[in-house]
Amino acid sequence: MTDGRPDIETVRAALAPHGLFLRGVVAFDGAADAPRLACGRPAASVALIGNIGGSMWPAFRQWRRGRADDGGENPLDDWSKTVIRPLAARLDATAWFPSDPPWQPFQRWAMRAEGLRPSPLGILIHPVYGLWHGYRGALGFEDRLEAASEPAGPHPCEACVEKPCLSTCPAGAVRAGGFDVAACRDHLRGVRGQADCMIAGCLARAACPVGADYRYGGDQLRFHMAALSL
């Protein structure tokens, strides 16, 4: 902390050993949509915390191996909390998680913080990381958190001519007009889905050429697929 204000470098340094990154900051400036902190006052800024590619996987895997229950029923959510909650207490911030109420608009925050837009799969697509990133939590501060914002650049899907995500999905669930959740789930429950997407990860997601270097490894892909509520 510096002069009672949150220090951006302190946040980054605390996250680095866990393979997590400060993904962006949303400033509210007294706006009506500012989330309420644990103290009841509105947040002046919210810092989004997440992974880039498989950055968090080694730390998460090591944590899970050290637990007798292999991390419990929701290991990734629990690991995220063990990392982010102590940091929140240290910085006098309020921690929020996508898995827990009060439900916060993580997707909307990410679009404001990083200028991202949804892909046909519904996942926010990053011009560099593609579909291979995520948000594990957020920190709310009563003071303004100063962080230089980086322009997101053009929406990758608009420049993609072939759009392989639309033609690769074996269930035909990925469409220009929206993602058919029911068709996807039906496929994953079936014999074919159990043999392709459930093993190798979403084939439509893997077909996207943006951010291919950040694609999750096989263990991480299978973990996320197995965590789906089918």
Calpha distance 6→47 (Å, rounded): 11
**Helix, strand, coil share (%) of the chain residues, nearest 5:** 40, 20, 45
Which of 2-16, 75-89, 128-142, 154-168 comes out lowest in average pLDDT?
2-16
Per-residue model confidence as pLDDT tens digits over 167-190: 999 999 999 889 999 999 999 999
Give the pLDDT of residue 150. 66
Q: What is the pTM of this model?
A: 0.93
Q: What is the full DSSP assignment across 88-129?
A: HHHTT-EEE-TTSSSP--HHHHHHHHH--EE-TTSSEEBTTT
Listed in order, strand segments (DSSP E) in 121-223 are: 124-125, 133-141, 174-175, 178-179
Give the pLDDT of residue 2. 46
Angstrom CA distances, 198 to 121, 153, 159, 219, stand at 16, 32, 29, 11
